[in-house]
Structure 1
Amino acid sequence: MLWVKTFHILAMTSWMAGIFYLPRIFVHYAEGRAAGQDVTRLIIMAGKLYGFMSLMAVLTLGLGFWLWFGWGFGGGWLHAKLVMVVLLIGYHHWCLRYLKQMRAGTLDRSGRYFRLFNELPLLIFVPILILVVVKPF
């Protein structure tokens, strides 16, 4: 079971790297487009990154369920963590919506907006980390 936990943490780390980096691409896209620069490469990068982070999300969730069923359903901390994971999945899909707008050329949010948008996953990730390590309840 420790191998499963190891690969769960590895996949989660990779997923979070994508979750933190994709909005930075949105920032560069918004600011580059406003400055009249060619942003085609950013669209390609965002698409490839989204595909990678989606694969890592699936692996994270699959291995997480394996751990959940292997070690049981106990502890209020786990239920709270799962709520936060659902929020993270929602954020992941929110990024897909922005990626589709980027591809269609209709992404009209500012770089400042995406800088703030980029902070949301940290507000979700920190409680997950605390819940997993401290297990407060």
Structure 2
Amino acid sequence: MDVYLWVKAGHVISVIAWMAGLFYLPRLFVYHVERRGDVPAMMPVLEIMERRLLRGIMNPAMIASWVFGLWMIAMGGIDWGQVWPWVKAVCVLTMTWFHMWCAGQRKILLDGGGATGRHYRLMNEVPTVLLLVIVVAVIVKPL
């Protein structure tokens, strides 16, 4: 079996898991800030969901995505003279920043702070835009 294909499969699987978390956690933040005053009994449940999603799924998936991605780079086959790998790299770094931003927001929410539901809804679009740019850059290679 070709090791590169196994590494690539691991990368795709871990990215899918990471993206699922990046799509869902900001949505949980919306519920957290918008229901805080109305349904205070819901807060412990949301806090558990947020913690388990971040620590149990998102963190391991992000690490695996990076490990498999760097492994593929180390195996060669990427022409860094083209634009698409640089576009992808910038988007992956931005996605990692967004992941860390989410982790920071979770701590702020635990302390009773946090942004508005509207702000979290807008931020929820960040991973979608990054995903679109990455997929087009890697598959279509328009640049």
Q: TM-score, normalised by structure 1?
A: 0.93
Which structure 1 segments of 5+ residues have no match? none
Q: Does 1:114 align with 2:120?
A: yes
**Aligned-partner residue type, residue 122 of structure 2:** L
Q: Matches of 1:68 and 1:88 in 2, distance apart?
A: 18
Number of residue pairs the alignment of both structures matches: 136
**Equivalent in the alignment of 1:16:** 19
Query: Which residue of structure 2 lines up, in the alignment, with residue 76 of structure 1?
Result: 83
Q: 1:40 — aligned with what? A: 44
Shift of 1:72: 3.8
- SS of the aligned residue for 1:34 comes to coil
Deviations along 1:16-54, whole A, 9 cap, x unmatched? Answer: 000000001001101110324321110111011011201
Aligned counterpart, 1:90: 97
Q: Which residue of 2 aligns with 1:132?
A: 138
Aligned equivalents of 2:131, 2:107: Cα separation in 1: 25
| Matching residue of 2:6 | 3
For the residues of structure 2 that align with 1:124 and 1:34, how far apart are their CA atoms? 33
Task: Name which of 110, 115, 118 aligns with 1:103.
Answer: 110
Identity %: 35
Counterpart of 1:127 in structure 2: which amino acid? V
Q: 3-state DSSP class of the match of 1:105?
A: coil
- Per-residue deviation at 1:76? 2.0
Pick the aligned partner of 2:62 from 54, 57, 64.
57
| Deviation by residue 1:69-101 (Cα, 9 ceiling, x = unmatched) | 112441321011101111101111110110111
Q: Aligned equivalents of 2:106 and 2:138: distance in 1? A: 31
The residue number in structure 1 matching 2:28 is 25
Deviation larger for 70-79 or 45-54: 70-79
Unaligned runs of 5+ in 2: none
Tell me the TM-score normalised to structure 2 length: 0.90
